[in-house]
């Protein structure tokens, strides 16, 4: 391990890591471009690099990409990456309430803490955790995703019916495409373009970025205000670290742990930790209106999930996400087969990944901390510049995912749908999250049923799956329980309980 750090501190590796992280942040921040796209597109460039150089570059991009997403999520309500969807819930209201820097700084702090805590798990207990994660089969995946879906319902603000309808609509839009459980097309209405379904990226950029841009361009033009950077100290202090300590610790554990499970990913990690934090909070009603713990929970967990996802990757060669599948591709190009043998065959690469992950987090902190004021100034750039540029990026980005114009049209369509939903006050968060979650839930449930020959009762023999369902039930009943508790407290004690 020490050797790995020493290797890492060679100038070229550090340079690549720095470059990768910086690139990742910028790309992650731009709506329409994501970390996995960046990594896919830079993969060919790594062909001629030394394998450690290549890995440091890609890890940097991975960490930077997930972290950068918070910038536009907070400032413009356009999540730069899917993992930052929940950051829009509280981050954007904070920025609107005149605290963009505070929101950014909290998000950055949370990201770094999440990264470092999950690194401890990665460096310290990889083999144990990997074995644990392996036990999770289709039943457990199904139960976990169901739990997230139920939490989603408790997340909706405003009209509950509309929130639920948004989720159902999102799920319905996830249906078209090849049904993995029969290998045939479903609801494609004989259109080839629908065979691969609606891509996550076009849907996300459409629903958030395009609809937001259209709305903003319809708003009256304000004369551009001069950009003045506040000279005061950064609005996050050491005491914040203490205030949010329990929150960050919990969110890191949730993030790492969900990241461990291949195929679940950072989006769900952020969502689960956000809801958990909200449920445990004394003032859940403040969430969604610019409440600081909300930003912290989501951003801690999505960064922590990277560390978690790297665990099955390096111990077993099982990628946790699309991004990591590409990382594995990068290894095989260098004739390195990921898996348990990697530590024997190429320890400098295996430990290099672990070391690079930590250093990338620190570089990310350094870069974003120093740039936070300038980043906050983005929201003051005249709209004409910002919107026209972002539009071009959205088009190019959604095209570049698969070199396919269908994705661009899908993005436009979801822009219009998003605008319509907002107009009817149907929340977009549940819509997009329903879209992400339901295919996993369905496939896993049907996989479980295949495996058990149609016997639903088999889930009873699965303790982890049952415990997720229990938590889901608890989430549903939580408001009732809390109501009871509060009432009883009110009765027994006279003085208000702070």
Partner 1 sequence: MRLHPAWVDLALVLAVLAGAGLLFVGASTLPPPRFEPMGSAALPRILGGLLVFFALIIAIKAIWQLRGRTDSNVVSDETDDTTSRPSAANSALESDTEESALTGQLRGICVFTCLILYIVALDILQWSFIPVTAAFVTIVGTALSPQRLQALWKFALFGLVLAAGLYLVMTRFLYVDLG
Partner 2 sequence: MNRYTHTTDPAGRPGALSQACRTVRRVSRRTACKLAVGALLATSLSGNATLSLADEGSYPSKPIRVIVPFKPGGRTDTVARLLGEKIQEKGWLSQPMVILNADGGAGANAVNQMRRGDADGHTAVHWHHQLLISIAMQLGDFTLDDFKSVGYTGGGSPVWAVREDSPYNTLQDLIDALKAEPRSLVEAVGIGTIPHFVGAMLANEAGFETRYVTASSGADRLRLLLGGNADISLFAASEFIGQGEGLKALVYFGRERLPDLPDVPTASELGLDVSWANPNWWLVPADTPDDVVAQLAAALEKAIADPEIVEYFNNNTLEAYWMDGESAMADAKKTLAALKPVADSIK
Site for partner 2 in 57-96 (CB under 8 A): none
From partner 2, partner 1, none, which one binds at residue 325 (CB under 5 to 8 Å depending on kind)?
A: partner 2
How far apart are alpha carbons 246 and 487 in whole angstroms? Answer: 27
CB 191 within 8 A of CB 181: no
Quick one: 14 or 134, whose CB is closer to partner 2?
134
Quick one: 140 or 292, whose CB is closer to partner 2?
140
Provide the minimum distance between the beta carbon of 431 and partner 2 in the complex, in angstroms, as a whole number: 22
Q: Which of 128, 135, 370, 388 binds partner 1 (CB under 8 A)?
A: 388
How far apart are alpha carbons 331 and 46 in whole angstroms? Answer: 10
Considering only CA atoms, give the Rg of the chain.
22
Quick one: 39 or 71, whose CB is closer to partner 1?
39
How far apart are alpha carbons 254 and 250 in whole angstroms? Answer: 6
CB 162 within 8 A of CB 425: yes
From partner 2, partner 1, none, which one binds at residue 322 (CB under 5 to 8 Å depending on kind)?
A: partner 2
> Which tokens is 60 given?
């940097």
Provide the minimum distance between the beta carbon of 416 and partner 1 in the complex, in angstroms, as a whole number: 8
Query: For partner 2, which stretch binds (CB under 8 A), given 205-213, 272-280, 312-320, 489-497?
Result: 312-320
Counting contacts by CB under 8 A, is residue 339 touching partner 2?
yes
Counting contacts by CB under 8 A, is residue 479 touching partner 1?
no
The burial class, CB within 10 Å (0-12 / 13-18 / 19+), for 361 is: buried
Provide the minimum distance between the beta carbon of 64 and partner 2 in the complex, in angstroms, as a whole number: 11
Binding mask 421-460 for partner 2 (x = CB under 8 A): ----------------------x--xxx-xx-x-------
Helix ranges (H only) for 157-244 are: 160-173, 200-204, 211-218, 238-243
From partner 2, partner 1, none, which one binds at residue 362 (CB under 5 to 8 Å depending on kind)?
A: none
Counting contacts by CB under 8 A, is residue 44 touching partner 2?
yes
Q: Which of 233, 425, 491, 493 binds partner 1 (CB under 8 A)?
A: 425
CB 256 within 8 A of CB 270: no
Looking at residue 403, the DSSP 8-state letter turns out to be: T
Q: Which of 14, 41, 175, 280 binds partner 2 (CB under 8 A)?
A: 41
3-state secondary structure of 377: helix
How far apart are alpha carbons 202 and 206 in whole angstroms? Answer: 6
Instruction: Identify the bridge partners of residue 186 per DSSP, sorted by sequence position.
Output: 177
Provide the minimum distance between the beta carbon of 243 and partner 2 in the complex, in angstroms, as a whole number: 33
Query: 188 vs 12, 194, 196, 474, CA distance in Å?
Result: 49, 5, 9, 37
Q: Say what the alpha-carbon torsion angle 137, 145, 462, 249 is, to the nearest 10 degrees.
A: 100
Query: For partner 1, which stretch binds (CB under 8 A), given 3-11, 88-96, 294-302, 349-357?
Result: 88-96
Instruction: Identify the bridge partners of residue 231 per DSSP, sorted by sequence position.
Output: none
Q: Please give the residues from 139 up to 168 whose contact with partner 1 meets the rule CB under 8 A.
A: 157-159, 161-162, 164-165, 168
Q: Please give the residues from 197 up to 216 whose contact with partner 1 meets the rule CB under 8 A.
A: 210, 213-216
Binding mask 317-336 for partner 2 (x = CB under 8 A): xxx--x--xxxxxx-xx-x-
> Which tokens is 372 given?
């936070």
* Nearest by Cα to 201 from 85, 352, 114: 85
Quick one: 7 or 380, whose CB is closer to partner 1?
380
Helix ranges (H only) for 200-288 are: 200-204, 211-218, 238-243, 245-260, 265-280
Counting contacts by CB under 8 A, is residue 270 touching partner 1?
no
Q: Please give the residues from 446 up to 465 whose contact with partner 1 meets the rule CB under 8 A.
A: 446, 449-450, 454
CB 165 within 8 A of CB 156: no
Provide the minimum distance between the beta carbon of 446 and partner 1 in the complex, in angstroms, as a whole number: 5
β-pairing, 177-179 vs 184-186, is antiparallel
Counting contacts by CB under 8 A, is residue 286 touching partner 1?
no
Quick one: 132 or 409, whose CB is closer to partner 1?
409
3-state secondary structure of 246: helix
Provide the minimum distance between the beta carbon of 149 and partner 2 in the complex, in angstroms, as a whole number: 19
- The separation between CA 366 and the C-alpha centre of its own chain, rounded to angstroms, equals 21
> Which tokens is 407 given?
């994705």
Backbone angles phi, psi at 49, to 5 degrees: -90, 165
Q: Please give the residues from 120 up to 149 whose contact with partner 2 meets the rule CB under 8 A.
A: 134-138
From partner 1, partner 2, none, which one binds at residue 418 (CB under 5 to 8 Å depending on kind)?
A: none
From partner 1, partner 2, none, which one binds at residue 138 (CB under 5 to 8 Å depending on kind)?
A: partner 2
How far apart are alpha carbons 283 and 278 in whole angstroms? Answer: 8
Cβ partners under 8 Å of residue 315, min gap 6: 126, 127, 130, 340
Q: Please give the residues from 342 up to 381 whose contact with partner 2 meets the rule CB under 8 A.
A: 374, 377-378, 381
CB 43 within 8 A of CB 384: no
Q: Nearest 5 degrees, angle CA 489-CA 493-CA 496?
A: 85
Query: For partner 1, which stretch binds (CB under 8 A), given 20-28, 139-147, 222-230, 330-338?
Result: 222-230
Q: Please give the residues from 311 up to 370 whose contact with partner 1 meets the rule CB under 8 A.
A: none
Q: Please give the residues from 183 up to 242 whose contact with partner 2 meets the rule CB under 8 A.
A: 183-185, 192-193, 195-196, 199
Binding mask 168-197 for partner 1 (x = CB under 8 A): xx-xx--x---x-xx-x-xx-x--------
Q: Please give the residues from 289 up to 308 whose contact with partner 1 meets the rule CB under 8 A.
A: 289
Provide the minimum distance between the beta carbon of 179 and partner 1 in the complex, in angstroms, as a whole number: 5
């Amino acid at each position: 391990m020490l050797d790995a750090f020493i290797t890492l501190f060679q100038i070229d590796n550090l340079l690549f890591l720095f470059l990768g992280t910086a690139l990742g942040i910028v790309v992650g921040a731009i709506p329409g471009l994501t970390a996995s796209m960046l990594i896919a597109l830079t993969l060919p460039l790594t062909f001629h690099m030394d394998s450690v150089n290549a890995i440091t570059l890609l890890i940097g991009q991975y960490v930077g990409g997930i972290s950068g997403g918070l910038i536009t999520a907070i400032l413009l309500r356009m999540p730069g990456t899917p993992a930052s969807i929940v950051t829009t819930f509280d981050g954007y209201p904070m920025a609107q309430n005149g605290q963009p820097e505070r929101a950014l700084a909290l998000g950055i702090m949370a990201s770094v803490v999440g990264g470092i805590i999950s690194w401890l798990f990665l460096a310290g207990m990889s083999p144990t955790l990997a074995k644990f994660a392996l036990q999770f089969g289709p039943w457990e995946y199904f139960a976990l995703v169901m739990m997230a879906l139920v939490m989603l319902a408790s997340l909706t603000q405003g009209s509950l019916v509309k929130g639920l309808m948004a989720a159902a609509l999102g799920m319905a839009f996830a249906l078209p495409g090849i049904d993995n459980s029969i290998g045939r097309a479903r609801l494609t209405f004989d259109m080839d373009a629908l065979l691969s379904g609606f891509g996550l990226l076009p849907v996300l950029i459409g629903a958030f970025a395009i609809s937001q841009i259209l709305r903003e361009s319809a708003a009256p033009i304000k004369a551009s205000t001069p950009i003045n950077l506040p000279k005061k100290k950064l609005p996050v202090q050491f005491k914040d670290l203490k205030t949010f300590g329990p929150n960050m610790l919990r969110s890191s554990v949730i993030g790492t742990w969900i990241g461990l499970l291949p195929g679940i990913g950072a989006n769900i990690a952020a969502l689960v930790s956000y809801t958990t934090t909200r449920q445990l909070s004394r003032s859940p009603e403040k969430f969604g209106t610019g409440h600081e713990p909300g930003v912290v929970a989501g951003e801690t967990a999505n960064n922590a999930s990277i560390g978690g996802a790297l665990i099955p990757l390096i111990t077993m060669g099982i990628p946790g996400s699309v991004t990591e599948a590409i990382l594995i591709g990068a290894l095989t190009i260098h004739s390195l087969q990921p898996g348990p043998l990697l530590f024997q065959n190429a320890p400098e690469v295996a430990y290099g990944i672990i070391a690079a992950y930590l250093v990338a987090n620190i570089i990310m902190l350094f870069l974003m901390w120093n740039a936070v004021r300038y980043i906050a100034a983005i929201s003051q750039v005249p709209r004409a510049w910002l919107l026209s540029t972002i539009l071009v990026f959205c088009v190019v980005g959604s095209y570049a995912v698969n070199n396919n114009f269908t994705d661009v049209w899908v993005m436009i369509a979801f822009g219009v749908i998003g605008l319509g939903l907002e107009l009817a006050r149907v929340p977009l968060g549940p819509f997009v999250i329903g879209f992400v979650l339901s295919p996993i839930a369905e496939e896993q449930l049907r996989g479980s049923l295949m495996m058990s020959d149609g016997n639903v009762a088999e889930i009873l023999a699965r303790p982890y799956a049952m415990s997720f369902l229990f938590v889901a039930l608890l989430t549903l009943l939580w408001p009732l329980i809390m109501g009871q508790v509060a009432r009883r407290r009110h009765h027994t004690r006279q003085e208000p309980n702070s």
